[in-house]
Structure 1
């Protein structure tokens, strides 16, 4: 393990009890050695992207402090997805849970299985809107723009709707 690093995750679910799936994913991540949840965005209901014939998603972003390397963190995220019965049948298809590594400090990584910053995060309102809540002033490495600047460029999408009663750190860390 190394020195603690701040990283940002995007989470989404559109199968089963979506809120419960997100809550359980966050709880499992927080319980893992080397991961501490520090902030959560609001919950948003969002339209699917890519494969459109599927239910709407619930999405949020989380900030963590981690001593895990990017590769080990990615493996941990994939393990949590598997534990919550994520099945990959159709690209951008329905899923119980999706956990993406969006940012890992100010690092830029281009590896076979891992690209950071997430390669499509600046194109996706369901990522940028919740991420701007918790990390708006953070520069997106390699772009010369902050999360807020990217968020402002996309305008106000109608298919990203904030929901009342967000998840709280207390709910998922106790």
Structure 2
């Protein structure tokens, strides 16, 4: 089994409900085990500001699926929830990103792990810290160390999962 962390985000069509549906779908999948989910946070959008605030969370799970098979699964869940890719960093019903796949480093046209922007984003590091503050990252630093260097003052817990 590989321990995986998934970033979750939504800012359209009932963002909290979108995350809850994705959590339910993934929790019921037979290849995903030992699932834990951070609280859901409200955050400002990255990129274009002419869009609603986001609901964000992080899910931890164990799986035997390959990274690409997991990516395919996550993208199918996004499609089930009517994900449309109109513009880069634009609004979306659901965004599911593989943040960490064990301690593997992956750099392919379809997938980069660790997620290339995760250390810059409080809405990723805060919920990741909620789940695993002592987790050692590829750069040799713990999640909690990265959290202490980010401004997370705009994050508000909107729901405990």
With the length of structure 1 as denominator, give the TM-score of the two structures: 0.89
For 1:27 and 1:78, locate their aligned partners in 2 and report how far apart those are by CA, in whole Å: 15
The answer (yes or no) to whether the contact 1:15–1:96 under 8 Å persists in 2 is: yes
Preserved contact between residue 27 and residue 35 of structure 2 (Cα < 8 Å): no
Query: For structure 1, which runs of at least 5 residues remain unmatched after alignment?
Result: 168-174
Matched, 1:43 2:37: no
1:54 matched residue in structure 2: 51
Matched, 1:19 2:13: no
1:172 alignment counterpart: none
CA contact (8 A) 1:51 1:92 kept: yes
- Indicate the residue corresponding to 2:153 in structure 1: 158
Q: CA deviation at 1:24?
A: 0.6
Partner Cα separation in structure 1 for residue 98 and residue 132 of structure 2 = 14
CA contact (8 A) 2:7 2:99 kept: yes
Give the number of equivalent residue pairs: 161
Which whole-Å deviations, capped at 9, do the CAs of 1:59-105 have from their partners, x for residues lacking one? 01110111100010011111100010000001110000110100011
Does residue 53 of structure 2 align to residue 80 of structure 1? Answer: no
Shift of 1:39: 1.1
- 1:149-168 Cα shifts (integer Å, max 9, x gaps): 111111x43221122x412x
Q: Deviation of residue 32 (structure 1)?
A: 2.2
The 8 Å contact of residues 43 and 60 in structure 1, kept in 2 or not, is answered as yes
Contact 1:37 1:62 in 2 (8 A): no
1:113-164 CA distance string (max 9 Å, x none): 11110000000011001110101111112x111111111111x43221122x
RMSD: 1.1
Q: Which runs of 5+ in 2 are unaligned?
A: none
TM-score (ref. length: structure 2): 0.96
CA distance in 2, matches of 1:158, 1:151: 11
Matches of 1:31 and 1:158 in 2, distance apart? 34
